[in-house]
C-alpha cells in the first residue's frame, strides 16, 4: 500500500467522528510511512510511536488507528498518542 492510500483511509475514518487528521501534513505523512513500515515488518499496521510487546493479543490494541479515545492524552489534550488524530 502506498502512503497516500493509507492517508485516504484515515481521512475516511475521521469523516463522521469528532476528530480529524492533524493539520500538519508532515506529521501525517511520517506516521503513514511508519504504519506501512510496521505492516511490512510485522504484518500489521502498528502505530509507529508505540512499542509492541510481543504478545499478539495485547499488540492488537496498537494497530493504527488504536483505541486512542480511552487514553489520557486524548482526554487531556484532545489528540491521540502520536498526534495523528486531533479533536475537531
Kindly report, residue by residue over 3-46, the tens digit of the pLDDT.
999 999 999 999 999 999 999 999 999 999 999 999 999 999 99
Determine the structural domain holding residue 31 and report its residue range: 3-87
Q: What is the pLDDT of residue 50?
A: 86
**Residue 1 CA from chain centroid, whole number:** 15
Strand, coil or helix: 75 = helix
Looking up residue 49, the CATH number of its domain turns out to be: 3.90.460.10
Is the model's pLDDT at 1 over the cut of 80?
Answer: no
Rounded distance between C-alpha atoms, residue 24 and residue 42, angstroms = 27
Task: Provide the pLDDT for residue 41.
Answer: 92
What digits encode the pLDDT tens for the residues 45-74? 999 988 899 999 999 999 999 889 988 999
* Number of compact structural domains in the chain: 1
Amino acid at each position: 500500500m502506498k502512503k497516500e492510500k493509507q492517508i485516504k483511509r484515515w481521512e475516511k475514518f475521521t469523516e463522521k467522528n469528532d476528530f480529524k487528521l492533524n493539520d500538519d501534513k508532515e506529521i501525517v505523512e511520517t506516521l503513514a510511512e511508519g504504519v506501512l513500515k510496521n505492516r511490512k515488518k510485522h504484518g500489521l499496521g502498528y502505530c509507529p510511536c508505540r512499542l509492541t510487546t510481543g504478545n499478539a493479543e495485547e499488540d492488537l490494541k496498537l494497530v493504527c488507528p488504536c483505541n486512542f479515545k480511552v487514553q489520557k492524552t486524548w482526554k487531556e489534550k484532545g489528540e491521540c498518542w502520536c498526534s495523528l488524530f486531533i479533536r475537531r
